């Protein structure tokens, strides 16, 4: 029998998961001091523990709180499963430029060192980054759930477009659910300046077709906006933005809508007004793997 602890950043999702598991749910109690340090309390628990805490912004605070929760849970239980629905820092998975710290490796080591026995995350940005864990990791997928959500819309001959080439297999999986086709854009980012560009390579006639742009995350929205500008030139129909992790920093939501995007659809790995797709069942299934 598990007890599910809802960390400060994922209490609703943790509660939903506990309900599916028919388990006890315990919210972590958090107080943040004026200097930003946090005091977290969880009651003494018997049996196996599942911690759910996402590491969206403020990423560092949410990470520290996750480490603290694992460390305390380990005092109570020999099995501590940590679910980090959005696991931050995975983009830094190799030393791209000399001297850059491979942050994902540091995070992986820290989670294991705090006492986690297993990790579950959703649509991790990088398999390389997950390779730094020396404890079992499950990378669950929200693609099917995201795609099913779009069945409610009356789409005109939809085309699924991966904003990044590395998501082409996921775009294909998404398209299969909607019985349609997919393509991937060739987006390139300058490693020094961060400047983005799309290398033109359009082989399909998009005229009038509705587009669903898919990606693992939307952060500043710059990738989605760039893709939208490019696709609009091909006279496509409505454009929707869809991702697992809606970081949507600063005014990106507004900027994306200003670009003419019809809707932004995300999951509740990061709770916000666009997180309309619940992944508690995806986590539930991952626990039985």
Q: Is 221 in the site for ligand R5P (CB under 6 A)?
A: yes
Q: How far is the CB of 21 from ligand R5P (least distance, A)?
A: 31
Q: Is 93 near ligand R5P (CB under 6 A)? A: no
Annotation says 19 is catalytic: no
- Contact segment (CB under 6 A) with ligand R5P among 1-9, 134-142, 219-227, 231-239 equals 219-227
Is the separation of the CB atoms in 213 and 239 below 8 Å? Answer: yes
Q: If binding is defined by CB under 6 A, does position 141 make contact with ligand R5P? A: no
What is the chain's Cα-based Rg?
20
- What are the structure tokens assigned to 269, written together? 């790995």
Q: Which is nearer to ligand R5P, 221 or 271 (CB)?
A: 221
Of the residues 21, 77, 87, 163, which one makes contact with ligand R5P according to CB under 6 A: 163
At residue 140's C-alpha, the angle toward residues 135 and 141, to 5°, is 155
Dihedral sign of CA atoms 62, 63, 64, 66 in order: positive
Report the residue number, 164 or 210, with the smaller CB distance to ligand R5P: 164
Whole-number Å distance between alpha carbons of 15 and 284? 12
- Candidates 187, 207, 233, 254; catalytic one: 187
From residue 153, give the alpha-carbon distance in Å to each of 11, 130, 156, 227, 266. 30, 35, 9, 21, 15
Nearest distance, CB of residue 186 and ligand R5P, angstroms: 13
Kindly state the helix (H) or strand (E) to which residue 54 belongs, with its residue range: none
Q: What residues from 222 to 251 belong to the interface with ligand R5P (CB under 6 A)?
A: 222-223
Minimum gap (Å) between residue 64 Cβ and ligand R5P:
23
The binding site for ligand R5P (CB under 6 A) comprises 163-164, 215-223
Active site residues: 187
């Amino acid at each position: 029998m598990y007890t599910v602890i809802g960390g400060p950043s994922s209490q609703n999702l943790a509660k939903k998961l506990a309900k599916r598991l028919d388990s006890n749910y315990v919210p972590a109690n958090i107080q943040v001091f004026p200097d930003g340090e946090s005091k977290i309390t969880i009651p003494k628990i018997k049996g196996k523990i599942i911690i759910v805490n996402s590491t969206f912004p403020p990423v560092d605070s949410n990470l520290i709180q996750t480490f603290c929760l694992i460390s305390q849970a380990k005092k109570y239980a020999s099995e501590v499963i940590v679910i980090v629905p959005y696991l931050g820092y995975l983009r830094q998975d190799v030393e791209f430029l000399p001297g850059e710290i491979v942050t994902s490796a540091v995070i992986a080591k820290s989670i294991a060192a705090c006492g986690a026995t297993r990790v579950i995350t959703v649509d991790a940005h990088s398999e390389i980054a997950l390779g730094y864990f020396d404890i079992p990791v499950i990378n669950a997928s929200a693609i099917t759930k995201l795609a099913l959500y779009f069945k409610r819309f009356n789409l005109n001959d939809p085309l699924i477009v991966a904003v990044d080439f590395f998501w082409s297999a996921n775009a294909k999986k998404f398209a299969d659910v909607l019985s349609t086709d997919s393509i991937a854009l060739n987006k390139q980012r300058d490693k020094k300046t961060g400047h983005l560009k799309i290398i033109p390579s359009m082989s399909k006639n998009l005229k009038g077709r509705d587009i669903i742009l898919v990606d693992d995350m939307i952060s500043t929205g710059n990738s989605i906006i760039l893709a939208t500008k490019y696709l609009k030139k091909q006279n496509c129909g409505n454009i929707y933005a869809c991702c697992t992790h809606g970081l949507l920093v600063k005014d990106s939501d507004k900027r994306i809508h200003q670009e003419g995007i019809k809707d932004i659809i995300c999951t509740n790995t990061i709770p916000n007004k666009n997180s309309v797709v619940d992944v508690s069942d995806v986590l539930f299934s991952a626990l039985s793997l």
